[in-house]
Each structure stands twice: as C-alpha cells, then as structure tokens.
Amino acid sequence: MWPISLVALLPLAASALAFPSPGNCEHKVKEELGAPPRGWAIHSPAPADHFIQLRIALPQPNFRVLEEHLYAVSDPEHERYGQHLSKEEVEELVAPHSESVDAVNEWLASHGIQEDIGRSPAGDWLTIRIPLSKAEEMLNTKYHVWQHTDGDYLVRTTSYSLPAAVYDHVELIQPTTLFGRFKPQKSSIKSISKVQSAQNSPAIGDMATGATVDASCNTTVTITCLRQIYNAVGYTPSAHVGNSIGITGYLEEYANRADLQQFYVDQVPAAAAVNSTFKFISVNGGIDPQNLSLAGGEANLDTQFAFGLSFPVPSTFYSTAGEPPFIPDEGTPTDTNEPYAQWLEFVLSHPSPPLVISTSYADGEQTVPESYARRACAGFAQLGARGVTLTSSSGDGGVGDGDPDPATQECITNDGTNRTQFLVGFPASCPFITAVGGTELFPETAVAFSGGGFSQLFPRPSYQDAAVKGFLDTLPNGTYAGLFNPNGRAFPDVSAQSVNFRVFVGGEAFLIGGTSASAPAFAGFVALLNDARLKAGKPSLGFLNPLLYSKAASGFNDITTGNNPGCGTQGFNATKGWDAVTGLGTPDFGKLVKLVV
C-alpha cells in the first residue's frame, strides 16, 4: 500500500468552549431556503413531542487530500493505479479536527445531551434522537408538517441557526431543509399473460458492432440477450477470487428469494441448479419479508439482473428502513425518511463492502440542499478510494424533472425565481458516481426517457473535459441557452438496455423498464470485469470514471441515434462520441476485458 502523507494540519484558532445557558446563546443562520420547494406547503404545526433523529456533520478539513489519493488510484496512467486505500486510511483522512469534536460535544452537553450519541467510525458524523421541542431550541427554528401535492408528508423547517461558538465546527444538520423525494427510477411495468421463451428465435445483426442477437430481444430483454448484445457470451466468472456485488433497497422494496429462483430457472439454469441466493444485510432496521405479496418490482429487477449476470459472484442485498414516512394522523414517533444517508453511513463503516454496488433511486438535485449533496458525494469518494465501484440510474425524465411523460413535466426551479430549467437527478450528478443512462432495441438507440444533462451543483471534473467539450462544440450556438449549466458535471457516463426486462414479481412475469434496469445491468458487467482482474492478480476497478473517459473509452459501442426530450424541448441528441443521452455508449465486454486486465 502506498504510504499516506497527510498534509500538515494547521490548528484552528482556539475558541472558548464554555457555552452559556441555551436560552442565552447568540445564533447565526446556518442554512436557509429562500422559499419552500415547489409542491410543498405547510400542513400543520409539528407536534412538540414528535421525535426526530438529527444527523450532525462535522467538517472534513483534509478531504482534498483524500480526493487526490482517489484520483491517483483511479487513473490508469498513474503509478498508483489500483492501490486502493484501507478503511482506516480513509477514516484518518476524513476525521474532523479535535477542536470541532470538542466544540460540538460541549454544545450538546449544554443541552443535556451527553449519552446516546451515535458516532461514525471517523467521528465526522454524530447522530442524536431528540423531541422536536429540543431540536427547535437547539437550532433556533420552528418545524412544521409539510405536505406535497401528491400526498407525501415531511417534518421540516426552511432555516436553522447555530450558536456562534459552534457555527464553524458544524457543516450541516439534517433533517432540516432537505425536502428530497427519494424515488426509484422505474418508468414502466407491464404484465405478461404468458411468458415466451427467448431461445431459438431468428437472429439479427448489427453491422457496426458485428454482434448477433436473438430477434426476441427487441421485445423482451433477458440475461441471454444482455450477454449477446454486450459481447459476454461464454465468459464464466468465479465464486472464489474475492469478488462481490451489491444492490441497495429502500422504501419497503423487498427482494424475494422465491422469485429469484423462478428467474434463475427461466434465465440462469446454472444458478437454479445450486439454489443460488443473495446475502441479506439489514440497515437501520430494514426487514427481509419473503411473502410473495410483498415482493418489490424494483428490488426484484435489480437483484435478478445484477446477480443473474454476475453469477456465481457472491451477492448482497441491503434493505434500508425508512419509508417516507410521516403520517400526521397516525402520530409516527420518529421521522426516518433519509434512508440513503443511513445506508451510506452504514456501508462506510463496513470493513469489506461489495466491490460494485448499484442504486436505482434518486432525488431531484434541486431538492437536495447543496451542503447535503456535497457531503453525500464526499461519502461516495470515500468508497471509491477503497476500491468500490458505484453505479446509479441517470433518471427517467430525459432532460426534465423526473416525470417520464414530457407532457406533464414542469421543469421549474424551486429557488423562488420560477425559471424554466433542465432538471437533473442526484446522486447521478455526483462526479464520483458512474451514472448509467438507457438504450432500447437492437441495433441500439437511445431511449427517450434516458436522463442526461449537466449538474447545477458540481463543476465538470477534469476526467471528462475533452469528451464533454467535444459534445458541446457540436451544439449550434445558443442551443438551450440558460436551460443548462455547460460547465457542470455532465452525465450519463455510460448506458445499457433499459426497456422490457423480464422480471419475476410475486410469482408472475412482468416487463419492467427504466434506467433502474440499466444501472444494475451495467453493474453486473463491472462485476465480470472485476472477476477477470482478480483472476489476473489485479485489484478491483474501484472508481471507474477516470478509466472510462481514457483507456477504456474504446471499449464502448457508440450510440448515435435517439434523443431525450423534456421541458417542452427535444432534449439532447445522441451523437458520435460522448453525449448527454447515452454518455460514452454501451459496454462491449469482450473489448473491455482486454483493456482492463
């Protein structure tokens, strides 16, 4: 392992940590929304005895050093490529200054909070569970029950403050101003009255790639189809080289083992023969019900295709509790609707997380406070530095607001200015995630709902400068001026098939589509690439993007037809090279495995 030389840390100016009585503390506004996000309105006062779990982020003063290490171990041209950091090394790099720890401890103690404080392994996150009345006192704010136009409820505030003595020692506190609506990126689900076999159908070819595919793949996508389309027929991974793959599950979406077995019988007979299944891990009280009536379409889609493609690679399904959540007339005792943050903290504490993990859930970027988005993105960087690849759906609204129907998209900013703007999703907009867009049919074309565009929060990372500038140069001057940020992190990075995946749910077959299909499928192929590297005595791929935009770019099928309409426009066009519809294109496993091993 390459030794870490931490930069010399300049001590913070000493500050008095003796807090006056809570009622006499002078507060400064830490975060404030100019207006509530669109669609949200105050429903009622929040009950004072309602309990809330506050997560307090302490600054990570040495994060830039971690980022430097991340790019060094992820750049295939760097001498340290693949020399991932250990869990302990990463934690050392994100640990807060002792002055911050002392200041926050003193502040909590001044409010009588000295026990039952949850602390992350690095000490950069603290968790406390307190009644709202105490939270309002500590943060000099007022919480309300907010209701969205579609019926969701949240307990939130539009601003909060901190005492001057602790102000610079806290990066953010949530849930406060986070009005995100974490949802699966699933555009469609169709019932199948009779499951048809995908085998022995006439073949069709693609002159550009030379691939030959069963014609049935244009109506029903199976494991066989994906292996044919992406040139992985005949590749056999191992169960014994230290490889692993994981899927995240949220919002009471449960993966069903009986459905998985039925899927394996139908599409992966070798897995069915040994009764293969996944390891279950509960996060924050997540449960594992196996009643077929509770089988989740999203969870089954993700697990069946990611694990089916990568079998027999050891697989894990994470069930994270936290259904959005607050129902005023039921008196929910705790507001637990930040499951993604709960999962991220848990997996960072895990000594050996899966080497590739796929997520098919997202928020609108503009609904996530900048401080929260940046801190979560920093968490993804920590996993990347440890050798974990993260894939995420790019979204199902084209350039729009997440609604796959362009006719019903509003595409209006929620900052109070009510401007029309292309709206992107998070976490796909984080530069440390590999965002996966969607294609359909064979030969492949971009699917209309493929989420793509440019972040308003994160600047464009250097690894994609050349590719994205090349795309922007193809746009006529003035194209969509003011509707997107040409200097923002651009996505998707890559794409894969995303329509008519044959999935078993509750004992029946369905066709499910969305970038929630393409992300786990792409993750399955990453697991195969990791298998090849591990067999060759090399480390896992880890954070993929610097590799994708350089050495591995030639291992993708360039998609040059289709577009992603939204916001009353035709969106962007798929074109030669990287584009904001399909990214670099879809994987050619046969080429990629030669490039990465």
Query: Given 259, 298, 338, 531, which residue is catalytic?
Result: 298
Distances (CA, A) of 568 to 405, 407, 545, 564, 593: 11, 8, 31, 11, 41
For the chain, the maximum distance between any two Cα atoms, rounded to a whole number of angstroms, is 79
Average pLDDT over residues 60-70: 98
Q: What is the pLDDT of residue 325?
A: 47
Average pLDDT over residues 481-507: 97
Q: Residue 155 corresponds to which tokens in the numbers above? A: 């307990």
Confidence grade of residue 14 (pLDDT, cut at 50, 70, 90) = very low
- Note the Cα 34 to chain centre separation in Å: 27
Count CB-CB contacts under 10 A for residue 74: 25
Q: What is the pLDDT of residue 4?
A: 43
Q: What is the pLDDT of residues 199-230, one digit of tens each?
A: 556 799 998 888 899 999 999 999 999 999 99
Task: Kindly tell me the sign of the dihedral angle through the C-alpha atoms of 204, 210, 213, 219.
Answer: negative
Same domain? For 557 and 514 the reply is yes
Domain count, the chain: 2
In a domain, 12, yes or no: no
Q: What is the pLDDT of residue 3?
A: 42
Q: What is the pLDDT of residue 328?
A: 63
516 is catalytic: yes
Mean pLDDT of the chain: 91
Same domain? For 199 and 282 the reply is yes
Measured between its terminal Cα atoms, the distance across the chain in Å is 20
- Note the Cα 473 to chain centre separation in Å: 29
Same domain? For 172 and 207 the reply is no
Provide the total of helices (H) and of strands (E) in the chain, helices listed first.
15, 30
The residue whose two tokens read 């502040």 is 107
Q: Of 342 and 358, which is predicted with more confidence? A: 358
Query: Given 516, 518, 531, 540, which residue is catalytic?
Result: 516
Residues 6+ positions from 210 with CB-CB distance below 8 Å: none
Q: What is the pLDDT of residue 531?
A: 98
- Is residue 381 scored above 50 in pLDDT? yes
In a domain, 85, yes or no: no
Q: What is the pLDDT of residue 262?
A: 98
Same domain? For 212 and 195 the reply is yes
Strand partners, 587: 556
Distances (CA, A) of 297 to 15, 151, 257, 301, 581: 53, 22, 13, 6, 25
The residue whose two tokens read 């991932």 is 84
- What's the predicted TM-score (pTM) here? 0.93
Confidence grade of residue 180 (pLDDT, cut at 50, 70, 90) = confident
Helix (H) or strand (E) holding 303: helix 297-310
- Is residue 441 scored above 60 in pLDDT? yes
In a domain, 414, yes or no: yes
Q: What is the pLDDT of residue 280?
A: 98
98 is catalytic: no
Q: What is the pLDDT of residues 285-298, one digit of tens each?
A: 999 999 999 999 99
Confidence grade of residue 2 (pLDDT, cut at 50, 70, 90) = very low
Same domain? For 294 and 323 the reply is yes
Same domain? For 236 and 262 the reply is yes
In a domain, 90, yes or no: no
Q: Residue 259 corresponds to which tokens in the numbers above? A: 């459905």
Average pLDDT over residues 43-69: 94
Same domain? For 263 and 150 the reply is no
Task: Please identify, among 137, 161, 179, the residue that sits at the C-terminal boundary of a domain.
Answer: 179
Same domain? For 282 and 172 the reply is no
Query: Given 302, 403, 444, 588, which residue is catalytic?
Result: 302
In a domain, 65, yes or no: no
Same domain? For 217 and 355 the reply is yes
Q: What is the pLDDT of residue 182?
A: 81
77 is catalytic: no
Q: Of 556 and 335, which is predicted with more confidence? A: 556
In a domain, 148, yes or no: yes
Same domain? For 142 and 213 the reply is no
Same domain? For 404 and 518 the reply is yes
Q: Structural domain of residue 443, as residue ranges? A: 184-596
In a domain, 5, yes or no: no
Q: Which residues are annotated as a binding site for Ca(2+)?
A: 558-559, 577, 579
Ranking 314-318, 390-394, 476-480, 583-587 by mean pLDDT, the lowest is 476-480
Query: What CATH code is carried by the domain that includes residue 590?
Result: 3.40.50.200
Q: What is the pLDDT of residue 211?
A: 86
Task: Please identify, among 162, 179, 196, the residue that sits at the C-terminal boundary of a domain.
Answer: 179
In a domain, 451, yes or no: yes
Same domain? For 126 and 195 the reply is no
Task: Please identify, among 157, 179, 201, the residue that sits at the C-terminal boundary of a domain.
Answer: 179
